[in-house]
Amino acid sequence: MIKWTMINIYLLLKFLMIIINNMIKNNNNNDNYNNITKYRYNRELFSIKSAHTWCAKTKIIKRSYHNNTSLNNKLIIVQKNNDKDNLNMNNFYKWLVGFTDGDGSFYMKGTEKDLKFFYGFHLHKDDISCLENIKNNLKMSPSGVPAGPGTNNININIRETSAQLTVMKKQWMNDNLLPIFDKYPCMTIKYYSYMKWKEALMKSLNKVSNKELMEYKTLINNYEIIDNMEIPYNNMNDHWILGFLEAEGSLTIDNRRNCCSLFITQHMKSKKTLEVIKDYILMNWKPIDNTPNLIKEYLLNNWDTMIYLSKPNKCNVINLTTTNMDFLYYVIIPKFNSMNWYSIKYNSYMNWQSVINIYMKGLHKINNDNIKEYIEYTKNLNKKGINKINYNIELYNSIINNNKPLYNKNYRYRTNSIIHSKKNIAGVGVFVYDLNNTLIKTFTGHVPAGVHFNCSKHEIAKYIKNGNVFMNKYILKNMLLD
Protein backbone atom coordinates (compact mmCIF):
# COMPACT_ATOMS: atom_id res chain seq x y z
CA MET A 1 0.00 0.00 0.00
CA ILE A 2 2.85 2.40 0.89
CA LYS A 3 4.75 1.55 -2.32
CA TRP A 4 1.67 2.25 -4.46
CA THR A 5 1.19 5.63 -2.74
CA MET A 6 4.79 6.67 -3.35
CA ILE A 7 4.52 5.78 -7.05
CA ASN A 8 1.34 7.81 -7.33
CA ILE A 9 2.98 10.78 -5.62
CA TYR A 10 5.96 10.57 -8.00
CA LEU A 11 3.69 10.42 -11.06
CA LEU A 12 1.57 13.28 -9.72
CA LEU A 13 4.64 15.47 -9.12
CA LYS A 14 5.98 14.68 -12.61
CA PHE A 15 2.61 15.54 -14.13
CA LEU A 16 2.48 18.85 -12.22
CA MET A 17 6.00 19.74 -13.40
CA ILE A 18 4.96 19.21 -17.03
CA ILE A 19 1.95 21.50 -16.54
CA ILE A 20 4.06 24.20 -14.85
CA ASN A 21 6.70 24.07 -17.61
CA ASN A 22 4.02 24.40 -20.28
CA MET A 23 2.48 27.33 -18.43
CA ILE A 24 5.84 29.07 -18.21
CA LYS A 25 6.53 28.42 -21.87
CA ASN A 26 3.14 29.76 -22.93
CA ASN A 27 3.45 32.76 -20.67
CA ASN A 28 6.82 33.65 -22.15
CA ASN A 29 5.24 33.73 -25.58
CA ASN A 30 2.50 36.23 -24.72
CA ASP A 31 4.27 39.06 -26.53
CA ASN A 32 6.01 36.99 -29.15
CA TYR A 33 4.95 38.19 -32.58
CA ASN A 34 6.64 35.19 -34.21
CA ASN A 35 3.48 33.23 -33.53
CA ILE A 36 0.91 32.99 -36.31
CA THR A 37 -1.80 34.33 -34.03
CA LYS A 38 -2.96 34.34 -30.44
CA TYR A 39 -5.54 31.74 -29.53
CA ARG A 40 -7.91 33.52 -27.21
CA TYR A 41 -11.64 33.51 -26.54
CA ASN A 42 -12.06 30.09 -28.27
CA ARG A 43 -11.92 31.61 -31.72
CA GLU A 44 -12.05 29.67 -34.94
CA LEU A 45 -9.31 30.36 -37.48
CA PHE A 46 -9.53 30.45 -41.24
CA SER A 47 -7.53 32.18 -43.94
CA ILE A 48 -8.70 34.19 -46.90
CA LYS A 49 -7.35 35.02 -50.34
CA SER A 50 -8.50 38.59 -50.81
CA ALA A 51 -9.79 41.58 -48.93
CA HIS A 52 -13.28 41.06 -50.43
CA THR A 53 -13.99 38.03 -48.28
CA TRP A 54 -13.73 39.54 -44.83
CA CYS A 55 -16.23 42.27 -45.63
CA ALA A 56 -18.94 39.73 -46.23
CA LYS A 57 -18.14 36.95 -43.79
CA THR A 58 -16.40 38.25 -40.67
CA LYS A 59 -17.08 40.46 -37.74
CA ILE A 60 -13.66 40.81 -36.21
CA ILE A 61 -10.31 41.11 -37.96
CA LYS A 62 -7.11 40.01 -36.29
CA ARG A 63 -3.69 38.91 -37.39
CA SER A 64 -0.12 38.86 -36.18
CA TYR A 65 2.86 40.51 -37.79
CA HIS A 66 6.35 39.23 -37.18
CA ASN A 67 7.91 36.03 -38.38
CA ASN A 68 11.61 36.46 -37.69
CA THR A 69 10.87 40.21 -37.84
CA SER A 70 8.82 39.88 -41.00
CA LEU A 71 5.18 39.86 -41.94
CA ASN A 72 3.45 36.50 -41.82
CA ASN A 73 2.90 34.80 -45.14
CA LYS A 74 -0.80 34.32 -44.49
CA LEU A 75 -3.53 36.73 -43.61
CA ILE A 76 -5.43 35.27 -40.67
CA ILE A 77 -8.99 36.22 -39.89
CA VAL A 78 -10.37 35.39 -36.47
CA GLN A 79 -14.08 34.72 -36.41
CA LYS A 80 -15.45 35.13 -32.93
CA ASN A 81 -17.77 32.58 -31.44
CA ASN A 82 -21.07 33.73 -29.97
CA ASP A 83 -19.68 33.75 -26.43
CA LYS A 84 -18.51 37.33 -25.95
CA ASP A 85 -16.82 38.23 -22.69
CA ASN A 86 -16.69 41.53 -20.87
CA LEU A 87 -13.12 42.32 -21.88
CA ASN A 88 -13.70 42.06 -25.60
CA MET A 89 -16.96 44.04 -25.55
CA ASN A 90 -15.34 46.77 -23.47
CA ASN A 91 -12.54 46.97 -26.02
CA PHE A 92 -15.16 47.29 -28.74
CA TYR A 93 -16.84 50.11 -26.83
CA LYS A 94 -13.52 51.94 -26.55
CA TRP A 95 -12.98 51.48 -30.29
CA LEU A 96 -16.54 52.67 -30.97
CA VAL A 97 -16.03 55.89 -29.02
CA GLY A 98 -12.80 56.60 -30.92
CA PHE A 99 -14.51 55.88 -34.23
CA THR A 100 -17.42 58.10 -33.18
CA ASP A 101 -15.01 60.89 -32.28
CA GLY A 102 -13.83 60.74 -35.86
CA ASP A 103 -16.86 59.80 -37.98
CA GLY A 104 -19.91 59.62 -35.72
CA SER A 105 -22.61 62.17 -34.96
CA PHE A 106 -24.99 63.12 -32.16
CA TYR A 107 -27.78 65.32 -33.47
CA MET A 108 -31.46 66.31 -33.47
CA LYS A 109 -33.85 66.83 -36.37
CA GLY A 110 -37.44 67.94 -36.77
CA THR A 111 -39.82 70.59 -35.54
CA GLU A 112 -41.62 71.29 -32.29
CA LYS A 113 -44.33 68.87 -33.38
CA ASP A 114 -41.93 66.06 -34.30
CA LEU A 115 -38.48 66.41 -32.73
CA LYS A 116 -36.20 63.36 -32.99
CA PHE A 117 -32.82 62.40 -31.52
CA PHE A 118 -30.19 60.58 -33.54
CA TYR A 119 -26.83 58.88 -33.14
CA GLY A 120 -25.10 57.44 -36.17
CA PHE A 121 -22.60 57.32 -39.00
CA HIS A 122 -22.62 58.26 -42.67
CA LEU A 123 -19.80 56.35 -44.42
CA HIS A 124 -18.74 55.24 -47.87
CA LYS A 125 -20.63 52.24 -49.20
CA ASP A 126 -17.46 50.14 -48.86
CA ASP A 127 -17.95 50.36 -45.09
CA ILE A 128 -21.33 48.60 -44.94
CA SER A 129 -19.64 45.73 -43.10
CA CYS A 130 -18.31 48.17 -40.50
CA LEU A 131 -21.81 49.54 -39.89
CA GLU A 132 -23.17 46.02 -39.61
CA ASN A 133 -20.49 45.24 -37.01
CA ILE A 134 -21.48 48.32 -35.03
CA LYS A 135 -25.17 47.46 -35.27
CA ASN A 136 -24.66 43.86 -34.19
CA ASN A 137 -22.38 44.74 -31.30
CA LEU A 138 -24.64 47.52 -30.03
CA LYS A 139 -27.46 44.98 -29.90
CA MET A 140 -25.41 42.84 -27.50
CA SER A 141 -24.53 43.49 -23.88
CA PRO A 142 -21.11 42.46 -22.44
CA SER A 143 -22.72 39.20 -21.28
CA GLY A 144 -23.67 38.33 -24.86
CA VAL A 145 -27.42 38.80 -24.52
CA PRO A 146 -29.58 41.38 -26.34
CA ALA A 147 -28.97 44.86 -24.94
CA GLY A 148 -32.63 45.61 -24.46
CA PRO A 149 -35.88 46.26 -26.29
CA GLY A 150 -35.92 48.41 -29.37
CA THR A 151 -32.75 47.13 -31.00
CA ASN A 152 -34.62 46.98 -34.29
CA ASN A 153 -34.43 50.79 -34.26
CA ILE A 154 -30.78 50.59 -35.31
CA ASN A 155 -31.16 51.05 -39.04
CA ILE A 156 -28.74 50.89 -41.96
CA ASN A 157 -29.75 52.67 -45.15
CA ILE A 158 -27.76 51.91 -48.30
CA ARG A 159 -27.48 54.54 -51.00
CA GLU A 160 -25.69 54.65 -54.33
CA THR A 161 -22.25 55.46 -52.95
CA SER A 162 -22.79 55.64 -49.19
CA ALA A 163 -24.35 53.87 -46.23
CA GLN A 164 -25.86 55.36 -43.12
CA LEU A 165 -26.45 53.87 -39.67
CA THR A 166 -28.93 55.66 -37.41
CA VAL A 167 -30.20 55.00 -33.90
CA MET A 168 -33.27 57.01 -32.88
CA LYS A 169 -35.19 55.27 -30.09
CA LYS A 170 -34.70 57.60 -27.12
CA GLN A 171 -35.24 55.15 -24.30
CA TRP A 172 -32.96 52.59 -25.88
CA MET A 173 -30.21 55.18 -26.36
CA ASN A 174 -30.61 56.25 -22.75
CA ASP A 175 -30.35 52.66 -21.52
CA ASN A 176 -27.57 51.46 -23.84
CA LEU A 177 -25.63 54.27 -25.51
CA LEU A 178 -25.25 56.64 -22.58
CA PRO A 179 -23.57 54.03 -20.34
CA ILE A 180 -20.95 53.44 -23.05
CA PHE A 181 -20.15 57.10 -23.68
CA ASP A 182 -20.22 57.94 -19.98
CA LYS A 183 -17.78 55.15 -19.14
CA TYR A 184 -15.55 55.68 -22.20
CA PRO A 185 -15.96 59.39 -23.02
CA CYS A 186 -15.18 61.16 -26.27
CA MET A 187 -11.78 62.85 -26.36
CA THR A 188 -12.18 65.47 -29.06
CA ILE A 189 -14.40 68.55 -28.94
CA LYS A 190 -17.18 66.10 -29.84
CA TYR A 191 -17.22 65.46 -26.09
CA TYR A 192 -19.14 68.73 -25.71
CA SER A 193 -21.52 67.76 -28.51
CA TYR A 194 -22.27 64.52 -26.69
CA MET A 195 -22.84 66.27 -23.35
CA LYS A 196 -25.31 68.75 -24.91
CA TRP A 197 -27.06 65.97 -26.80
CA LYS A 198 -27.27 63.86 -23.65
CA GLU A 199 -28.69 66.74 -21.64
CA ALA A 200 -31.38 67.36 -24.26
CA LEU A 201 -32.17 63.62 -24.51
CA MET A 202 -32.64 63.28 -20.75
CA LYS A 203 -34.85 66.39 -20.65
CA SER A 204 -36.95 64.95 -23.45
CA LEU A 205 -37.37 61.68 -21.55
CA ASN A 206 -38.43 63.76 -18.54
CA LYS A 207 -41.22 65.29 -20.65
CA VAL A 208 -39.67 68.71 -21.20
CA SER A 209 -41.50 70.33 -24.11
CA ASN A 210 -40.04 70.23 -27.60
CA LYS A 211 -40.31 74.01 -27.71
CA GLU A 212 -37.77 74.28 -24.89
CA LEU A 213 -35.54 71.68 -26.55
CA MET A 214 -35.41 73.30 -29.99
CA GLU A 215 -32.40 75.47 -29.14
CA TYR A 216 -30.30 72.34 -28.62
CA LYS A 217 -30.54 71.53 -32.34
CA THR A 218 -27.96 74.21 -33.14
CA LEU A 219 -26.11 74.12 -29.83
CA ILE A 220 -25.13 70.45 -30.02
CA ASN A 221 -22.67 70.76 -32.89
CA ASN A 222 -21.62 74.42 -32.70
CA TYR A 223 -18.12 73.45 -31.49
CA GLU A 224 -18.52 75.59 -28.38
CA ILE A 225 -17.01 74.29 -25.16
CA ILE A 226 -19.01 74.02 -21.97
CA ASP A 227 -17.78 76.19 -19.11
CA ASN A 228 -16.31 74.35 -16.13
CA MET A 229 -16.26 71.07 -18.07
CA GLU A 230 -13.00 69.58 -19.38
CA ILE A 231 -12.49 66.77 -21.85
CA PRO A 232 -11.38 63.71 -19.79
CA TYR A 233 -8.16 62.96 -21.69
CA ASN A 234 -7.00 60.65 -18.90
CA ASN A 235 -9.26 58.00 -20.46
CA MET A 236 -6.99 57.68 -23.53
CA ASN A 237 -6.44 54.03 -24.50
CA ASP A 238 -5.16 51.80 -27.31
CA HIS A 239 -8.56 50.85 -28.73
CA TRP A 240 -9.81 54.45 -28.84
CA ILE A 241 -6.67 55.38 -30.81
CA LEU A 242 -7.31 52.58 -33.31
CA GLY A 243 -10.96 53.60 -33.73
CA PHE A 244 -9.95 57.23 -34.22
CA LEU A 245 -7.26 56.20 -36.70
CA GLU A 246 -9.77 54.14 -38.71
CA ALA A 247 -11.93 57.26 -38.96
CA GLU A 248 -9.38 60.08 -39.25
CA GLY A 249 -6.02 58.49 -40.03
CA SER A 250 -4.14 58.18 -43.30
CA LEU A 251 -1.59 55.59 -44.39
CA THR A 252 0.76 56.60 -47.19
CA ILE A 253 3.47 55.03 -49.33
CA ASP A 254 6.12 57.18 -51.01
CA ASN A 255 7.76 54.92 -53.58
CA ARG A 256 10.11 57.70 -54.70
CA ARG A 257 11.72 57.87 -51.26
CA ASN A 258 11.04 54.22 -50.39
CA CYS A 259 9.31 55.07 -47.15
CA CYS A 260 5.88 55.04 -45.54
CA SER A 261 4.07 57.23 -43.06
CA LEU A 262 1.04 57.38 -40.80
CA PHE A 263 -0.73 60.57 -39.84
CA ILE A 264 -3.94 61.76 -38.19
CA THR A 265 -5.38 65.07 -39.35
CA GLN A 266 -7.41 67.44 -37.16
CA HIS A 267 -8.40 71.08 -36.95
CA MET A 268 -6.49 73.20 -34.47
CA LYS A 269 -9.54 73.03 -32.21
CA SER A 270 -8.59 69.41 -31.51
CA LYS A 271 -4.85 70.01 -31.18
CA LYS A 272 -4.96 68.93 -27.56
CA THR A 273 -6.36 65.56 -28.60
CA LEU A 274 -3.41 64.96 -30.92
CA GLU A 275 -0.99 66.01 -28.19
CA VAL A 276 -2.60 63.54 -25.79
CA ILE A 277 -2.41 60.73 -28.38
CA LYS A 278 1.27 61.50 -28.94
CA ASP A 279 2.06 61.55 -25.21
CA TYR A 280 0.09 58.35 -24.63
CA ILE A 281 1.92 56.46 -27.36
CA LEU A 282 5.35 57.63 -26.22
CA MET A 283 4.50 56.75 -22.63
CA ASN A 284 2.79 53.38 -23.11
CA TRP A 285 3.96 51.78 -26.35
CA LYS A 286 7.40 50.26 -26.82
CA PRO A 287 9.44 48.23 -29.32
CA ILE A 288 8.51 44.55 -29.35
CA ASP A 289 10.80 42.17 -27.51
CA ASN A 290 12.56 40.75 -30.57
CA THR A 291 13.65 44.18 -31.83
CA PRO A 292 17.41 43.94 -32.62
CA ASN A 293 19.45 45.62 -29.88
CA LEU A 294 21.05 48.20 -32.15
CA ILE A 295 17.66 49.31 -33.46
CA LYS A 296 16.03 49.26 -30.04
CA GLU A 297 18.78 51.44 -28.59
CA TYR A 298 18.40 53.91 -31.45
CA LEU A 299 14.62 54.06 -31.01
CA LEU A 300 14.78 54.57 -27.26
CA ASN A 301 17.52 57.20 -27.51
CA ASN A 302 15.39 59.16 -29.99
CA TRP A 303 11.99 58.22 -28.60
CA ASP A 304 10.56 61.72 -28.26
CA THR A 305 11.17 62.47 -31.95
CA MET A 306 9.45 59.39 -33.33
CA ILE A 307 6.02 60.98 -33.51
CA TYR A 308 5.44 64.70 -33.92
CA LEU A 309 2.90 67.45 -34.62
CA SER A 310 3.09 69.52 -37.78
CA LYS A 311 2.58 73.26 -37.90
CA PRO A 312 -0.97 74.35 -38.83
CA ASN A 313 -1.60 75.02 -42.50
CA LYS A 314 -3.61 77.91 -43.97
CA CYS A 315 -6.84 76.18 -42.98
CA ASN A 316 -5.66 75.68 -39.38
CA VAL A 317 -5.29 71.94 -39.93
CA ILE A 318 -2.49 69.98 -38.25
CA ASN A 319 -1.14 66.45 -38.52
CA LEU A 320 0.12 64.01 -35.94
CA THR A 321 2.75 62.15 -37.95
CA THR A 322 5.21 59.30 -37.71
CA THR A 323 7.50 58.47 -40.63
CA ASN A 324 10.38 56.56 -39.08
CA MET A 325 10.40 53.11 -40.67
CA ASP A 326 11.94 51.36 -37.67
CA PHE A 327 9.34 52.91 -35.37
CA LEU A 328 6.53 51.87 -37.70
CA TYR A 329 7.89 48.35 -38.04
CA TYR A 330 8.79 47.54 -34.43
CA VAL A 331 6.24 49.64 -32.51
CA ILE A 332 3.22 50.84 -34.49
CA ILE A 333 2.43 47.79 -36.61
CA PRO A 334 2.77 45.19 -33.82
CA LYS A 335 0.50 47.28 -31.62
CA PHE A 336 -2.19 47.64 -34.28
CA ASN A 337 -1.92 43.94 -35.08
CA SER A 338 -2.76 43.09 -31.47
CA MET A 339 -6.19 44.75 -31.73
CA ASN A 340 -9.42 44.23 -33.67
CA TRP A 341 -10.11 46.30 -36.79
CA TYR A 342 -13.69 46.90 -37.95
CA SER A 343 -13.61 49.21 -40.98
CA ILE A 344 -12.52 49.00 -44.62
CA LYS A 345 -9.34 50.83 -43.64
CA TYR A 346 -8.06 47.40 -42.67
CA ASN A 347 -7.65 46.72 -46.39
CA SER A 348 -5.46 49.81 -46.77
CA TYR A 349 -3.59 48.87 -43.63
CA MET A 350 -2.71 45.41 -44.92
CA ASN A 351 -1.39 46.90 -48.17
CA TRP A 352 0.56 49.48 -46.19
CA GLN A 353 2.22 47.11 -43.74
CA SER A 354 3.00 44.67 -46.57
CA VAL A 355 4.94 47.36 -48.43
CA ILE A 356 6.71 48.35 -45.20
CA ASN A 357 7.82 44.76 -44.83
CA ILE A 358 9.12 44.72 -48.42
CA TYR A 359 11.05 47.93 -47.75
CA MET A 360 12.44 46.69 -44.43
CA LYS A 361 13.76 43.56 -46.13
CA GLY A 362 15.27 45.61 -48.96
CA LEU A 363 13.30 43.67 -51.56
CA HIS A 364 12.52 46.90 -53.43
CA LYS A 365 16.23 47.00 -54.37
CA ILE A 366 15.84 43.78 -56.35
CA ASN A 367 15.28 44.13 -60.08
CA ASN A 368 12.01 42.23 -60.04
CA ASP A 369 8.93 43.25 -62.02
CA ASN A 370 6.49 41.70 -59.53
CA ILE A 371 7.93 43.74 -56.67
CA LYS A 372 7.92 46.96 -58.69
CA GLU A 373 4.34 46.37 -59.80
CA TYR A 374 3.21 45.55 -56.27
CA ILE A 375 4.67 48.74 -54.82
CA GLU A 376 3.32 50.83 -57.69
CA TYR A 377 -0.10 49.19 -57.41
CA THR A 378 -0.44 49.91 -53.68
CA LYS A 379 0.76 53.52 -53.66
CA ASN A 380 -2.80 54.96 -53.70
CA LEU A 381 -3.96 53.18 -50.57
CA ASN A 382 -7.00 55.21 -49.65
CA LYS A 383 -9.08 54.93 -52.83
CA LYS A 384 -12.60 53.56 -52.43
CA GLY A 385 -15.33 52.12 -54.60
CA ILE A 386 -14.34 50.73 -57.98
CA ASN A 387 -10.85 52.25 -57.58
CA LYS A 388 -10.18 50.51 -54.25
CA ILE A 389 -6.76 48.86 -54.04
CA ASN A 390 -7.50 45.34 -52.84
CA TYR A 391 -4.99 43.42 -50.79
CA ASN A 392 -3.31 40.90 -53.11
CA ILE A 393 -2.13 38.24 -50.69
CA GLU A 394 -1.06 35.79 -53.42
CA LEU A 395 1.33 38.27 -55.02
CA TYR A 396 2.62 39.38 -51.65
CA ASN A 397 3.29 35.79 -50.58
CA SER A 398 5.12 35.15 -53.84
CA ILE A 399 7.35 38.18 -53.28
CA ILE A 400 8.18 37.26 -49.68
CA ASN A 401 8.71 33.55 -50.31
CA ASN A 402 10.73 33.78 -53.52
CA ASN A 403 13.13 36.64 -52.78
CA LYS A 404 15.94 36.61 -50.27
CA PRO A 405 16.17 39.77 -48.12
CA LEU A 406 19.00 42.13 -49.04
CA TYR A 407 18.92 44.15 -45.84
CA ASN A 408 20.52 43.08 -42.58
CA LYS A 409 17.73 42.78 -40.01
CA ASN A 410 20.08 43.96 -37.24
CA TYR A 411 20.67 47.36 -38.86
CA ARG A 412 18.41 50.37 -38.97
CA TYR A 413 16.45 50.94 -42.15
CA ARG A 414 18.43 54.10 -42.95
CA THR A 415 21.73 52.29 -42.40
CA ASN A 416 20.69 49.50 -44.75
CA SER A 417 19.59 52.07 -47.33
CA ILE A 418 23.00 53.70 -47.19
CA ILE A 419 24.82 50.40 -47.53
CA HIS A 420 22.85 49.40 -50.62
CA SER A 421 22.83 52.84 -52.20
CA LYS A 422 24.61 53.21 -55.54
CA LYS A 423 26.45 56.19 -54.10
CA ASN A 424 29.72 55.95 -52.19
CA ILE A 425 28.75 55.62 -48.53
CA ALA A 426 32.05 56.96 -47.16
CA GLY A 427 31.52 60.09 -45.10
CA VAL A 428 27.74 59.85 -44.81
CA GLY A 429 27.72 58.70 -41.21
CA VAL A 430 29.65 57.53 -38.17
CA PHE A 431 29.72 53.82 -37.38
CA VAL A 432 30.88 52.84 -33.89
CA TYR A 433 32.47 49.42 -33.32
CA ASP A 434 33.75 47.75 -30.19
CA LEU A 435 37.26 46.28 -30.11
CA ASN A 436 35.90 43.03 -31.55
CA ASN A 437 34.65 44.86 -34.66
CA THR A 438 31.00 44.49 -33.62
CA LEU A 439 28.81 47.39 -34.73
CA ILE A 440 27.17 48.91 -31.66
CA LYS A 441 26.03 52.41 -32.70
CA THR A 442 25.43 54.50 -35.79
CA PHE A 443 25.10 58.26 -36.26
CA THR A 444 24.04 60.30 -39.26
CA GLY A 445 27.13 62.50 -39.05
CA HIS A 446 30.02 63.88 -36.99
CA VAL A 447 27.91 66.41 -35.10
CA PRO A 448 25.37 63.99 -33.54
CA ALA A 449 28.21 61.59 -32.74
CA GLY A 450 30.09 64.41 -30.99
CA VAL A 451 27.00 65.37 -29.03
CA HIS A 452 26.54 61.78 -27.90
CA PHE A 453 30.15 61.36 -26.79
CA ASN A 454 30.40 64.93 -25.44
CA CYS A 455 33.22 65.98 -27.73
CA SER A 456 33.67 68.12 -30.83
CA LYS A 457 32.90 66.98 -34.36
CA HIS A 458 36.60 67.52 -35.11
CA GLU A 459 37.52 64.95 -32.45
CA ILE A 460 35.22 62.43 -34.09
CA ALA A 461 36.75 63.16 -37.51
CA LYS A 462 40.29 62.76 -36.14
CA TYR A 463 39.64 59.28 -34.74
CA ILE A 464 37.89 58.20 -37.93
CA LYS A 465 40.93 59.31 -39.92
CA ASN A 466 43.72 57.88 -37.72
CA GLY A 467 41.90 54.66 -36.73
CA ASN A 468 43.04 54.85 -33.11
CA VAL A 469 40.97 53.48 -30.24
CA PHE A 470 38.47 56.10 -29.15
CA MET A 471 37.75 56.48 -25.41
CA ASN A 472 39.73 53.27 -24.83
CA LYS A 473 36.91 51.07 -26.13
CA TYR A 474 35.60 52.18 -29.54
CA ILE A 475 36.71 52.18 -33.16
CA LEU A 476 35.10 54.89 -35.30
CA LYS A 477 34.49 54.41 -39.02
CA ASN A 478 32.81 56.41 -41.77
CA MET A 479 31.65 53.24 -43.47
CA LEU A 480 30.33 49.84 -42.55
CA LEU A 481 32.74 46.94 -42.35
CA ASP A 482 31.96 43.80 -44.35
80 — pLDDT class (breaks 50, 70, 90): very low
Tell me what pLDDT residue 2 has: 47
Question: Does this chain's domain 86-186+189-230 share its CATH topology with 423-477?
Answer: no
- Per the CB < 8 A criterion, the answer to whether 478 and 437 are in contact is no
* Gap between the Cα atoms of 216 and 197, Å rounded: 7
CATH of 423-477, one of 1.10.10, 1.25.40, 1.20.120, 1.10.150: 1.10.10
Q: What is the pLDDT of residues 91-120, one digit of tens each?
A: 999 999 999 999 999 999 999 889 999 999
Give the closest residue to 362 by CA, choosing from 395, 403, 422, 423. Answer: 403
The three-state secondary structure class of 316 is coil
The partner residues of 157 in beta bridges, in order of sequence, read: 164
Where does 101-248 show beta strands of DSSP type E?
A: 104-110, 115-124, 154-158, 162-167
Average pLDDT over residues 136-153: 64
Contact partners, residue 311, CB within 8 Å, separation at least 6: 318
Say which range, 2-11, 270-279, 307-316, has the weakest mean pLDDT: 2-11
The three-state secondary structure class of 186 is coil
The per-residue pLDDT of the chain, averaged, comes to 80
Topology of the domain covering 238-402: Endonuclease I-creI (3.10.28)
Say which range, 10-19, 57-66, 246-255, 289-298, has the weakest mean pLDDT: 57-66
445 — pLDDT class (breaks 50, 70, 90): confident
Contact partners, residue 260, CB within 8 Å, separation at least 6: 251, 252, 253, 254, 323, 325, 328, 352, 355, 356, 359
Tell me the domain boundaries of the chain: 1-30, 86-186+189-230, 238-402, 423-477
Residue 137 pLDDT > 50, yes or no? Answer: yes
The three-state secondary structure class of 360 is helix
Tell me what pLDDT residue 202 has: 96
Residue 35 pLDDT > 70, yes or no? Answer: no
Q: What is the pLDDT of residues 237-256, one digit of tens each?
A: 999 999 999 999 999 998 88
Higher pLDDT, 159 or 185: 185
Neighbours of 283 (CB within 10 A): 10
The length of the chain is 482
Element (H, E) at 197: helix 190-205
- Per the CB < 8 A criterion, the answer to whether 264 and 249 are in contact is yes
Tell me what pLDDT residue 148 has: 57
Q: How far apart are the first and last CA of the chain?
A: 70
Give the closest residue to 255 by CA, choosing from 365, 409, 336. Answer: 365
* Gap between the Cα atoms of 151 and 347, Å rounded: 29
Tell me what pLDDT residue 42 has: 30
* Gap between the Cα atoms of 447 and 458, Å rounded: 9
Topology of the domain covering 86-186+189-230: Endonuclease I-creI (3.10.28)
